[in-house]
Structure 1
Amino acid sequence: MDSGKSEPFLRHVEKDVLIPKIMREKARVLCSDKVEAFTKCCQDSGLLMVVKCRNENAALKECLTLHYTNPTFYEECKQEYLKEREEFQRTGIPSKKRQQNVANSM
C-alpha cells in the first residue's frame, strides 16, 4: 500500500503557526465579502458596533470557520507552504522578497 512517497517532516511551528497563517490569509480572501460587510458595519456604527454588527460578525465567523475546519483546505495550504519552503531552501530568498524583486523588475 505504501506508494514509496514519504510525507515531508513538518516542525511544530510549521504545523501550528505557519500553515494556519496561510489558511487565515486565504480564508480572509475567500470570505472577503463578509470581511467587507463587517468592516463597513463597524465603521458606520462606532461604539455601538458590538450590538449593531452581530449578524455581520456571525456571518464572518461562520465563513472563516468553514475554511479553518476543512481538511482539504488545510492540505492545499500545507502544499502551498511546502512549495514555498522548498523554493526558499533552493534559493535562500523568502517568497515575499522574491515577489518584491519580480515586481521591482517590471
Structure 2
Amino acid sequence: MNPSSEEVDLLRHVEKDVLIPKMMREKAKEFCSDKVEAFTKCCQESGFFMVIKCREENAALKECLTDRYKDSALYEECKQEYLKEREEFRQTGIPSKKRQQKVPSSM
C-alpha cells in the first residue's frame, strides 16, 4: 500500500531532517565505497601524518558524498523507503530490523 499524499506531507521534522538524511548517508557511503576504502587505507598507512598525506583522498571522498547528499532522486528514494518501513511498522508494531532478524535462516 502506497502512502497517501497527505501522509507524505505529514512527515515530522525528525523524519525529514534526521531519519531520511541518515538513510541517505548510509547509501552514499555504499555508493562511494571505493573512495571510503582509499581514504581509510591512506589513513592507516600514514598514521600521524594522515592530515597532510591523505588530502587528495579526503577531497575525493567529500566530493563524492556531497554529490550524493545533493541528489534529489536519492532523497526521494530514501523517503519512499522510509515511508514504506514506517507503514509496515504501523501495521505490525515490529521495527524493520527486528522483522528481518525473525526470518528463519532455513528459508
User: TM-score, length-normalised on structure 2?
Assistant: 0.90
1:1-106 equivalences in 2 (<5 Å): 6-7=5-6, 8=8, 9-102=10-103, 105-106=104-105
Instruction: Please give the secondary structure, in 2, of the residue aligned with 1:42.
Output: helix
Question: Which one-letter code corresponds to 2:5 in the other structure?
Answer: S
Distance (Å, rounded) in 1 between the aligned partners of 2:53 and 2:75: 33
Question: What SS does structure 1 have at the residue aligned with 2:5?
Answer: coil
How many correspondences in the alignment?
100
**Whole-angstrom distance in 2 between the partners of 1:25 and 1:99:** 18
User: Secondary structure in 2 aligned to 1:77?
Assistant: helix
For structure 2, the residue ranges without an aligned partner over 5 or more in a row are: none
AA paired with 1:64?
L
Question: Secondary structure in 1 aligned to 2:94?
Answer: coil
Aligned counterparts of 1:30 and 1:60: Cα–Cα separation in 2:
11
Cα distance in 1 for partners of 2:5, 2:39 equals 43
Structure-1 separation of matches of 2:52 and 2:101: 41
Deviations 1:49-81 (A, max 9, x none): 000000100000000000100111100110010
Give CA deviations for 1:28-56 in whole Å, capped at 9, x if unaligned. 00100000000010000000000000010
Greater RCO (Cα-Cα under 8 Å, separation 6 or more): 2
Runs of 4+ that moved beyond 4 A: none
C-alpha deviation, 1:101, in angstroms: 1.4
Note the aligned Cα RMSD (angstroms).
0.9
Alignment-mate amino acid for residue 93 of structure 1: I
Taking every aligned residue pair, what percent have the same amino acid on both sides? 76
Structure 1's unaligned 5+ residue stretches are none
